Amino acid sequence: MYNYNYQDRIIMVPASEDIDPLEQIEIELFLEALYRHCGFDFRNYVFQSIRRRIWHRIHAENLTTVSGLQEKVLHDRSVLNKILADFSINVTEMFRDPSFFLAFRQHVVPLLRDFDCIRIWHAGCSTGEEVYSMAILMHEEGLHHKTRYYATDMSAQVVEAAKQRALPIDRLQAYSSNYLLAGGTRSLSDYFSFQHGQAVIHPFLSEPILFAQHNLAVDHSFNEFHVIVCRNVMIYFNSALQNRVHGLFYDSLISSGFLGLGTRESIAYTSHSALYKEMDPIEKLYRKIG
């Protein structure tokens, strides 16, 4: 056994080398049952990451086996919702990795100016901080008025949270620092107001944003985009699912459209690596060839 810190809780998980064929079968059956029961497909997520979250929920429900958890998930909607929340990765903040947004300003924005209408898809938007950050950036660059943003996540709960436009007050100082490092030209406080003890993004930023539930593992393209941003999502996917998602993104980009990934992600070693031009190798900005 080893200790795993999951959201500030210490969870006892069998050590990797202790995985036996029975546990492997149980986890595979559990993921298959989850897919057939509610359509969420985690079968091609990184095994160890999914395994840790399964064991977190096993202990939280005072159970001892994966099979025991499967029974509860199939027959108790509240437990199903909890495991889906466990599997949903919702680490985000305003202008997360500021250098990415600065590079986007420098390399991508000048090439977007000639378009009459700009469509940007934020895939895996979590609670919305990243898409609101992009809306602020585009506003400061004079492009917000002709930009339509599509913000999607597999979790209906976090999509609903994103629509509320609320920011955690205790994070505002860090967000302001990120904003300035990202090339912000004003003050972040110009873009929110305090209402009922919360910081709330101004409505003019959210008006052109369409929030929707979309699962990268099973759903298909729904529009054609000038920019797709999907950062720190595919690190949880195995190579087969990464290739599937890259195919989805490639098909969804206009000719010469732009793709932004997370710092630990890359199109290298995927089946689409030759189909993009690298614009910024550090910030993982790419342009579709053709």
Residue 252 pLDDT more than 50?
Answer: yes
Q: Which one of 64, 87, 110 terminates a domain?
A: 87
- How many other C-beta atoms lie within 10 A of the C-beta of residue 186? 12
- Looking at the domain assignment, is residue 92 inside a domain? no
Is 113 in a helix, a strand, or coil?
Answer: coil
Matching residue, tokens 């437990």: 79
Look up residue 3 and give its amino acid.
N
Confidence at 268, pLDDT banded by 50, 70, 90: confident
Domain of 76, in residue numbers: 2-87
CA–CA gap between residue 109 and residue 142 (Å, rounded): 10
How many structural domains does the chain have?
A: 2
Handedness of CA 270, 276, 280, 281 (dihedral sign): positive
Contact between 252 and 228 (Cβ < 8 Å):
yes
64 and 144, same domain (yes or no)? no
Confidence at 9, pLDDT banded by 50, 70, 90: very low
- Looking at the domain assignment, is residue 47 inside a domain? yes
115 and 57, same domain (yes or no)? no
Confidence at 10, pLDDT banded by 50, 70, 90: very low
pLDDT, tens digit, for every residue of 57-77?
999 999 999 999 999 999 999
Question: CA Rg, the chain, in Å?
Answer: 20
pLDDT of residue 32: 96
104 and 70, same domain (yes or no)? no
Contact between 175 and 126 (Cβ < 8 Å):
no
pLDDT, tens digit, for every residue of 79-137?
998 998 888 777 789 999 999 999 999 999 999 999 999 999 999 999 999 999 999 99
- Looking at the domain assignment, is residue 114 inside a domain? yes
pLDDT, tens digit, for every residue of 95-104?
999 999 999 9
Q: Which one of 87, 120, 155 terminates a domain?
A: 87
Task: Please tell me what DSSP assigns to residue 123.
Answer: E
Question: For residue 200, what are the β-bridge partners?
Answer: 166, 193
